[in-house]
């Protein structure tokens, strides 16, 4: 699993000109799933995400976690995170999991995050044409890949 984590002051997902989800201070998470991903990837990523110290303390130092600032989360599935660009100019998405594999893992990822932060995780809509809007606070953007834990 690959994630792009962005610290935001606000973020939203709009589908068919209707706002589906919106958050204030917290994390915008783009999640890419591949066939080899499993519950262990979800557990590792979720624990890493909620405990990562990327929010400012009283001195402005990135020293607080999502849990410590009681932040919100907006999680959106994004298969393009597994794009292969090695050959030609058109990315290949063959490594991205098909919906029958990706949807249950995405739902488990969201459920695990909800359990850890003890509040609802806002989401996009799997497979929909979404317009994602955010104000990246910092900016702070972090990439994590559960296959590269070292």
Catalytic residue among 79, 95, 123, 150: 79
Please state, in angstroms and rounded to a whole number, the distance separating the CA atoms of residues 118 and 95.
32
Catalytic residue among 80, 109, 126, 150: 80
In a domain, 84, yes or no: yes
CATH code for the domain in which residue 49 is found = 3.50.80.10
Question: pTM here?
Answer: 0.93
Instruction: Give the chain's domain count.
Output: 1
In a domain, 54, yes or no: yes
In a domain, 98, yes or no: yes
- Work out the number of other CB atoms within 10 angstroms of the CB of residue 69: 15
Name which of 121, 150, 91, 115 is nearest 29 in CA terms.
121
Tens of pLDDT along the chain (150 residues) come to 999 999 999 999 999 999 999 999 999 999 999 999 999 999 999 999 999 999 999 999 999 999 999 999 999 999 888 888 888 888 888 888 999 999 999 999 999 999 999 999 999 998 899 999 999 999 999 999 999 877
Give 55: exposed, middle or buried? Use CB within 10 Å, 0-12, 13-18, 19+.
buried
> CA of 118: how far to CAs of 50, 70, 93, 105, 110, in Å?
11, 9, 34, 19, 12
Please state, in angstroms and rounded to a whole number, the distance separating the CA atoms of residues 24 and 84.
33
In a domain, 102, yes or no: yes
In a domain, 131, yes or no: yes
55 has catalytic annotation? no
Catalytic residue among 14, 25, 55, 78: 78
In a domain, 65, yes or no: yes
In a domain, 18, yes or no: yes
What is the span of the domain harbouring residue 33?
2-145
| 90-126 CB burial, b ≥16 within 10 A, e <16 | eeeeebbbeeebbeebbebbbebbeebbeeebbbbee
Give 45: exposed, middle or buried? Use CB within 10 Å, 0-12, 13-18, 19+.
buried
In a domain, 150, yes or no: no
């Amino acid at each position: 699993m690959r994630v792009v984590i962005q610290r935001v002051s606000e973020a939203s997902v709009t589908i068919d000109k209707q706002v589906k989800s919106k958050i204030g201070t917290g994390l915008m998470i783009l999640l890419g799933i591949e066939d080899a991903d499993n519950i262990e990837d979800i557990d590792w990523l979720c624990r890493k995400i909620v405990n990562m110290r990327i929010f400012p303390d009283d001195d402005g130092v990135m020293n607080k976690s999502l849990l410590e600032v009681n932040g919100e989360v907006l999680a959106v599935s994004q298969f393009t995170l597994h794009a292969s660009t090695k050959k030609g100019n058109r990315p290949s998405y063959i490594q991205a999991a098909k919906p029958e594999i990706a949807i249950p893992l995405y739902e488990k990822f969201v459920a695990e995050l909800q359990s850890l932060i003890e509040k609802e995780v806002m989401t996009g809509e799997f497979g929909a044409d979404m317009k994602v809007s955010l104000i990246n606070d910092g900016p702070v953007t972090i990439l994590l890949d559960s296959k590269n834990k070292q």
